[in-house]
Amino acid sequence: MAINHSAHRLRRRLVVMGLCLVLAIPAVAQPVLGMLSRLDPGRWELRARDGARPVETLCVSDAYRLIQLRHPGARCERYIVDDEPNDVTVQYTCRGKGYGRTRIRRENAQLVQIETQGIADGQPFSFVAEGRRVGDCPG
């Protein structure tokens, strides 16, 4: 009986350790980009540098939204290419929807420079824009 009880206890410990490892994986897979947390949430305007497209206005509650401008709301796998105090580059893949690579350079908490390119809905995109916080989001 003592051997059976010890085996049961060992099995329980292994299960608990396995669960801890599984729960730790998402934290490792999605590192935090500190620079994005230093951007102010609110209403942001994106102005293309070439002036070829109209000014985009979006409500940004989470600055990670700026990474996937052409894949908003899509659940994508992200790979951090570069993570500096004022400059991040992220490559991402959205299964069945496309992919992109975005570089965001922070000038201050309300002003960024964005370069992004990739494929969305089967079509290529590429643009350079200035993002500026212009106020609070409505309601």
pLDDT in the model for residue 91: 97
pLDDT(19) > 50: no
pLDDT in the model for residue 133: 97
Q: What is the mean pLDDT of residues 25-46?
A: 76
Which class for 28: exposed (0-12), middle (13-18), buried (19 or more C-beta within 10 A)? Answer: exposed
pLDDT(21) > 70: no
Residue type, position 3, single letter:
I
Give which of 110, 137, 115, 139 is closest to 127, Cα–Cα: 115
Under a CB-based contact definition with an 8 Å cutoff, are residues 104 and 127 in contact? no
Parse the chain into domains and list their residue ranges.
Answer: 1-30, 34-135
The rounded mean pLDDT for the chain is 84
Tens digits of residue pLDDT in 4-17: 656 556 565 544 44
pLDDT(81) > 90: yes
pLDDT in the model for residue 94: 96
Q: What is the mean pLDDT of residues 29-39?
A: 76
d(CA 40, CA 47): 18
pLDDT in the model for residue 9: 61
